[in-house]
Amino acid sequence: FLTNRRKSLRNHLSSSNSSINFNLHDDDQLVENDDVDIEIIKLSKNSRRITCRIAINANLQTVWNLLTDYEKLADFIPGLAVCQLLEKTANHARLFQIGQQNLAFGLKFNAKGIVDCYEKDLETIPFGQRRDIEFKMIEGDFQVFEGKWSIEEMNNESQEVIKSSAEQEFQTVLSYAVDVKPKLWLPVSLVEGRLCREIKVNLLSVKRQAQKVIQSELHSC
């Protein structure tokens, strides 16, 4: 939709020095809770696939509600300064996001991007159920920035119980996968490590927020 508002956002994007739309301030307490599995795959010289997952003591619907309440994501995702809902239909959302990223050698980039999110229907899987949110940056800092949030809730009969380092059992696993290719002026090696760290913080932040919601519901009963 090429409204005046969209044109203004387009100009805002093209005029900024930027890197990526999910960011963080230093949050060492979160990173110390190192219960995120993360993997990096080299797709080409300047592109990577990053996948990670975390177990959460919350049900699928609680996590889903947090991830799809888009304009409140900035309330608990460190460094995501703005997450503005531009357009919403039944299973699609278009977001304008602003963050800030500190890189090596004292470089600092403002992060701005327009991202399309596609909310998938609930699926039945062996031992449970799953629901996904696919996303793709359509304007912004990368040639490619697209991937998927996936929430899997295991039922009580599942033999695939996920355990933390404390050997606690969880029923829900949140996964995040993204293919990323920066624009030519920004080598992927410059942002790869920082990007992995902020993705880890994002998942830990979602976990912490989901468990706060569950605790609040328990106390209100």
> The whole model's pTM is what?
0.78
Separation in Å, CA 76 to CA 72, 167, 208:
8, 27, 9
Mean pLDDT split into 10-residue runs, the chain, 221 residues: 46 41 39 72 90 94 96 88 93 88 51 90 94 94 90 72 46 92 77 80 93 85 65
Q: Which CATH code of 3.30.530.20, 3.30.420.40, 3.60.15.10, 2.130.10.10 fits the domain covering 36-154+170-220? A: 3.30.530.20
What is the per-residue pLDDT for 14? 46
Q: Which of 168, 95, 167, 178 is nearest to 134 (CA)?
A: 178
Instruction: Return d(Cα 127, Cα 130) in angstroms, integer.
Output: 10
Domain boundaries, the chain: 36-154+170-220
What is the per-residue pLDDT for 24? 34
What is the per-residue pLDDT for 221? 65
What is the per-residue pLDDT for 161? 46
